[in-house]
């Protein structure tokens, strides 16, 4: 019998006391993670991380409260949580029994992840939308019964901002200087003047970045999220670019005439109810010599492979239930691929089924995403 089979066979036996303690600890570390994640959300929202990052020296809770205009007792308890969880650093007196005030600080790495929206490692996006993501737990029992999920707008306007803040730092830093030059002939074409479509554009960060970099080209972003489109249009108005538009494909259908030179999809095909239909639509809009830049979550073919290779697998499967798979099942008959549902084998098969003949993985170093050049 394998170890797992033995464990199963024995699951009606009385628990081993030591294993029980260890297992309970393992379960409660998950609750610790969830609660501490909520506190990270507050640290970002209330400017606590920014205040720590901006300070010249470690701060007491009094000083941190004064810097943020918050109530000291609440700030102190929050800081104790974050320091106990290893998110911020606590400078404690040499004698642990000394009641002198603790001082709090950020390491350089913490400054990047918690307090630097322009750093590619900035990670507050998923924490930004944590309350909205977790609130969907209330809808989940019904979804588990009906099989029907909820689209991105079910996370409200802040859900769209959270997605924007999740993906924007990396794409601001690397999309134009690193990724686009890897695509055969695309930069030259964009410089001359090309037609570009970004499907599932969200709040439009990637498209706006490309539109700024290539003023001779025209850019259209499509999304079905009202909140994301509102946000994209607000940012467009701020930037005042004349070569960009954002549209809902249900009101303004996407082109089907082979007129598009470059189509991009960032982290959205696995969220769609009809991803194969979408890939056919991408093929129909693309010129014969056009390019599809497919960016989607790194995944492997089986659950066992994902668990073995992806240290974030449990996070990914959980987010899938709450967000990605839920979106992909938000209509009856939805494909329901989910967060880890588009491994390269499936992406390539879907592309070939839609008439694409070239599929090349790009050598891009990214913690979560895989990048592909797909061509007719």
Ligand X SMILES: C[S@@+](CC[C@H](N)C(=O)[O-])C[C@H]1O[C@@H](n2cnc3c(N)ncnc32)[C@H](O)[C@@H]1O
Closest CA to 270 of 342, 201, 202: 342
Q: By CB under 6 A, tell whether 199 contacts ligand X.
A: yes
Closest CA to 243 of 197, 174, 291: 197
According to CB under 6 A, which one of 70, 194, 224, 232 is a site residue for ligand X?
224
Q: How many CA atoms lie within 13 A of 259 on its CB side?
A: 8
According to CB under 6 A, which one of 202, 290, 341, 343 is a site residue for ligand X?
202
Angle between the N-to-C axes of helices 344-353 and 275-285, in degrees from 0 to 180, rounded to the nearest 10: 50
| Owner of token pair 């549209």 | 247
Q: Could you tell me the smallest distance in angstroms from the CB atom of residue 292 to ligand X?
A: 14
Which one, 88 or 206, has the nearer CB to ligand X? 206
Task: Copy the structure tokens of residue 174.
Answer: 């690397």
Closest CA to 233 of 255, 254, 208: 208
According to CB under 6 A, which one of 154, 195, 225, 306 is a site residue for ligand X?
225
Q: Could you tell me the smallest distance in angstroms from the CB atom of residue 369 to ligand X?
A: 9
124: which DSSP letter?
A: -
Q: By CB under 6 A, tell whether 227 contacts ligand X.
A: no
Beta strands in the chain (DSSP E): 59-60, 89-91, 103-105, 195-199, 218-222, 244-247, 260-266, 286-297, 358-361, 369-375
Q: Could you tell me the smallest distance in angstroms from the CB atom of residue 160 to ligand X?
A: 7
Q: By CB under 6 A, tell whether 296 contacts ligand X.
A: no
| Owner of token pair 């007491």 | 60
Backbone angles phi, psi at 248, to 5 degrees: -95, 120
By CB under 6 A, the residues from 306 to 335 that bind ligand X are 327
According to CB under 6 A, which one of 43, 159, 169, 200 is a site residue for ligand X?
200
Which one, 88 or 275, has the nearer CB to ligand X? 275
Q: Could you tell me the smallest distance in angstroms from the CB atom of residue 286 to ligand X?
A: 16
Query: What is the enclosing helix (H) or strand (E) of 53?
Result: helix 48-54
According to CB under 6 A, which one of 42, 161, 197, 228 is a site residue for ligand X?
228
According to CB under 6 A, which one of 163, 190, 299, 340 is a site residue for ligand X?
163
The stretch among 69-77, 105-113, 267-275, 333-341 that binds ligand X (CB under 6 A) is 267-275
Q: Could you tell me the smallest distance in angstroms from the CB atom of residue 138 to ligand X?
A: 21
Contact 291, 375 (CB under 8 A): yes
By CB under 6 A, the residues from 94 to 153 that bind ligand X are 152
Footprint of ligand X (CB under 6 A)? 152, 163-164, 167, 199-202, 205, 222-225, 228, 249, 266-268, 271-272, 278, 327
């Amino acid at each position: 019998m394998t170890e797992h089979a033995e464990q199963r066979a024995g699951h009606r036996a009385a628990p081993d006391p030591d294993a029980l303690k260890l297992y309970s600890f393992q379960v409660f570390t998950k609750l610790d993670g969830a609660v501490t994640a909520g506190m990270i959300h507050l640290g970002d929202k209330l400017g606590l991380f920014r205040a720590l990052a901006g300070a010249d020296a470690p701060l007491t809770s009094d000083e941190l409260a004064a810097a943020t205009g918050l109530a000291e007792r609440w700030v102190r308890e929050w800081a104790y949580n974050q320091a106990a969880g290893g998110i911020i650093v606590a400078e404690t007196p040499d004698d642990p029994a000394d009641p002198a005030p603790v001082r709090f600080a950020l390491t350089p790495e913490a400054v990047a992840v918690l307090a630097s929206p322009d750093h590619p490692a900035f990670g507050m996006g998923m924490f930004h939308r944590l309350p909205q993501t977790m609130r969907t737990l209330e809808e989940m029992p019904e979804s588990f019964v009906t099989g029907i999920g909820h689209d991105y707008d079910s996370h409200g306007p802040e859900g769209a901002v959270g997605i924007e803040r999740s993906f924007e730092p990396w794409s601001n830093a690397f999309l134009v200087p690193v990724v686009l030059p890897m695509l055969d002939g695309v930069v030259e074409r964009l410089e001359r003047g090309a037609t570009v479509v970004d499907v599932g554009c969200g709040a439009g960060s990637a498209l706006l970045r490309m539109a700024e970099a290539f003023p001779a080209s025209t850019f259209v972003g499509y999304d079905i999220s009202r909140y994301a489109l509102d946000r994209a249009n607000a940012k467009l108005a701020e930037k005042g670019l004349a070569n960009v538009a954002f549209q809902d494909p249900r009101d303004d259908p996407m082109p089907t005439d082979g007129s598009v030179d470059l189509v991009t999809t960032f982290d959205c095909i696995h969220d769609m109810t009809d991803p194969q239909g979408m890939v056919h639509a991408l093929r129909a809009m693309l010129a014969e010599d056009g390019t599809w830049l497919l960016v989607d979550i790194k995944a492997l073919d089986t659950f066992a492979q994902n668990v073995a290779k992806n240290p974030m697998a449990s996070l990914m499967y959980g987010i899938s239930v709450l967000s990605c798979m839920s979106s992909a099942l938000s209509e009856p008959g939805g494909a329901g691929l989910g967060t880890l549902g588009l491994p390269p084998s499936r992406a390539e098969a879907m592309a070939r089924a839609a008439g694409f003949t070239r599929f090349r993985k790009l050598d891009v170093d990214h913690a979560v995403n895989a990048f592909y050049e797909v061509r007719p």
